[in-house]
Structure 1
């Protein structure tokens, strides 16, 4: 994984300065806080936040991995791929690779997600239906290595990635 100390992070409160303090009232569940209503719904419900791509490339990639040496995992991956194509035809779904490709060291297939609504529907569905397979979820920005490491989220067992591809691209620029 990429070292988080290599990056800078703007304050999460940027743009929220000078507001009244939040209340300390506790909700009826006796555990959570009461939040004041927002003046308007967050734009993050409609479009991915910058610097995530909102265009043709898709905002998020989901790589679903299987061990190609396991006939059982390979069969499950093929069946999952077919189910995703049938249930989520609006997503971009790539072929099943039965060998390493790019930074991915084992068999996998990729799904592209284009908007927050699709993300909100597909990711919970995948949590329940991915079976024994691991999945890497990463945003698409102009920082590919960071997207695949520091900004990535894993379902299941994280797998190593071959990051040399990204280092070679950086060196060529």
Structure 2
């Protein structure tokens, strides 16, 4: 996976500094804290937070993996794929790949999620219905390698991705940028 020290992280309190201290009052369960009412609802309910994409690519990709040499897993993945297509037609669902493709080490299919509401409905559904399959959930930003590593979340057993693809993409993008800069 990725080394977290390679990245910078803005403070989670950006935009919330200098406010009154939060109350130290607990709720009736005696364990959780009573939170003050917010002046307005978080915009994260309606659109993905920057730098996550809110466009036709989708804010999140979900890659659902299966061992292509295991007939039972292939059957289960095929049935899951069909069920997702029927129950969540608003999501973009790609074909079943019966071999490794891109950075993905085994057979898989991909689902794109476009809104926080879809994310909130589909991810809990997948937690219950994915069976023995592993799933990689990652945001779509302009940092492909980071999205697939440091920002990724796994359901089930994490799998090693082929990150060489991202290294080559980064090198090619850098060479292309240098070439266009030299041409000016």
TM-score, scaled relative to structure 2: 0.94
Match of 2:152 in 1: 152
Structure 1 position 18, deviation (Å): 1.0
Once the 2 structures are TM-superposed, how far is the Cα of residue 35 of structure 1 from its aligned partner? 0.2
Q: Where do 5+ consecutive residues of structure 2 fail to align?
A: 174-184
C-alpha separation in 1, matches of 2:15 and 2:30: 30
| Structure 1 moving runs of 4+ over 2 Å | none
SS of alignment partner, residue 15 of structure 2:
coil
Aligned to 1:43: 43
Describe the superposition over 1:143-163 as per-residue Cα deviations: whole angstroms up to 9, x where unpaired: 000000000000000000000
Partner residue, 1:32: 32
How far apart are 1:55 and its partner, in Å? Answer: 0.1
Q: Secondary structure at the match of 1:171?
A: helix
Structure (1 or 2) with the larger CA radius of gyration:
2
Q: RMSD between aligned alpha carbons? A: 0.3
1:55-94 aligned within 5 A: 55-94=55-94
Gaps of 5+ in 1: none
TM-score calculated relative to the size of structure 1: 1.00
